[in-house]
């Protein structure tokens, strides 16, 4: 019998993220032509738009174009606009990532990218267009630092952002750990705790979509794993008290 080698998956790093973004932008170039709003009529191709956003030294023109892309994303959401904005703010994302500490490196990056996507969804591109880059940076930083703070608190105390959604173990002491782990997906998810990068590998096996979709699923599974860990911890405490 021939042993099959374990498939190798790309680690979630800044390099792999932006290599994926570059590939996605090449694939989405025709989509840009089809979806381009009138406000971007000066850029008939995606290449022209990216040059404006990443190469030109005219801050006011660049800020105006960023706002136009933000409006397009907020009114007609599409992974095209997310990819464009990720490429535009690549220097900012790299800079903020260097400031993050605590937790797993891949989780820090996933939280940063999720915070950035939330920022471009929420920031107001009309209020103060000239300083739009500053608002995106500030909103991203606040989001990721808050998320990391919650994560550190949960690791130290045993409770986190999902605590209110988790059933109180004292209310149903008959529930056992085996019942919590009844679903194979949850069991597989818990197994990712013991191997660095295992959660990202699980996402790559399960999600065949874009980098944005993979990151969204990574964040969802990370939250679910924390919820399961807390449930098991509560059941262990109840079992100890019952002895």
Q: Is 77 within a domain?
A: no
What gap in Å lies between CA 206 and CA 173, rounded to an integer? 34
Residue 222: closest CA among 141, 150, 134: 150
User: What is the C-alpha separation between 63 and 73, in angstroms, rounded?
Assistant: 15
Position 170 scores a pLDDT of: 35
Radius of gyration over every alpha carbon of the chain, rounded to an integer in angstroms: 21
The per-residue pLDDT for 62 is: 92
pLDDT digits (tens, 9 = 90+) for 108-150: 888 888 889 999 999 999 989 999 999 999 999 998 888 777 5
The helix/strand/coil state of 11 is coil
Asked whether residue 168 is domain-assigned, the answer is yes
Q: What confidence score (pLDDT) does residue 137 get?
A: 95
Q: Are 223 and 32 in contact (CB under 8 A)?
A: no
Distances in Å between the Cα of 34 and the Cα atoms of 41, 88, 236 are 12, 21, 56
Q: Is residue 82 assigned to a domain?
A: no
List the chain residues with pLDDT less than 70. 1-10, 56, 102-103, 150-187, 194, 196, 229-243
- Asked whether residue 243 is domain-assigned, the answer is yes
Structure tokens at 89: 């703010």
How far is the C-alpha of 209 from the C-alpha of 122, rounded, in Å?
24
Residue 1 to residue 144: CA distance in whole angstroms: 48
> Cα–Cα distance between 50 and 88 in angstroms, integer?
7
**Is residue 186 assigned to a domain?**
yes
179 in a domain, yes or no?
yes
Q: How far apart are CA 32 and CA 20, in angstroms?
A: 17
In a domain, 176, yes or no: yes
Measured between alpha carbons, how far is 98 from 91 in angstroms, rounded to an integer?
11
Is 214 contained in some domain? yes
pLDDT of residue 150: 57
Question: What pLDDT, on a 0 to 100 scale, did the predictor assign at position 103?
Answer: 66
Number of domains in the chain: 1
Q: Show the domain range for 210.
A: 163-243
């Amino acid at each position: 019998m021939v042993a099959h080698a374990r498939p190798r998956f790309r680690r979630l790093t800044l390099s792999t993220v932006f290599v994926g973004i570059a590939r996605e932008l090449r694939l989405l170039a025709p989509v840009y032509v089809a979806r381009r709003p009138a406000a971007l009529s000066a850029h008939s191709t995606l290449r022209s738009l990216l040059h404006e956003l990443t190469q030109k030294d005219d801050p006011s023109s660049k800020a105006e174009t960023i706002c136009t892309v933000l409006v397009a994303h907020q009114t007609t959401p599409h992974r095209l606009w997310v990819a464009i904005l990720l490429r535009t703010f690549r220097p900012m994302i790299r800079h903020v990532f260097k400031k993050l500490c605590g937790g797993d490196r891949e989780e820090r990056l996933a939280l940063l990218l999720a915070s950035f996507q939330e920022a471009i969804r929420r920031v107001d591109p009309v209020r103060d267009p000239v300083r739009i880059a500053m608002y995106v940076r500030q909103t991203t930083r606040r989001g990721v630092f808050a998320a990391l703070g919650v994560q550190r608190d949960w690791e130290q105390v045993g409770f986190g952002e999902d605590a209110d959604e988790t059933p109180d173990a004292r209310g149903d002491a008959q529930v056992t750990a085996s019942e919590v782990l009844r679903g194979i997906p949850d069991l597989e998810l818990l197994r990712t705790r013991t191997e660095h990068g295992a959660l990202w590998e699980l996402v790559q096996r399960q999600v065949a979509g874009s980098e944005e979709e993979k990151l969204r699923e990574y964040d969802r599974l990370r939250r679910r794993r924390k919820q399961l860990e807390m449930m098991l911890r509560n059941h262990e405490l109840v079992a100890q008290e019952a002895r």
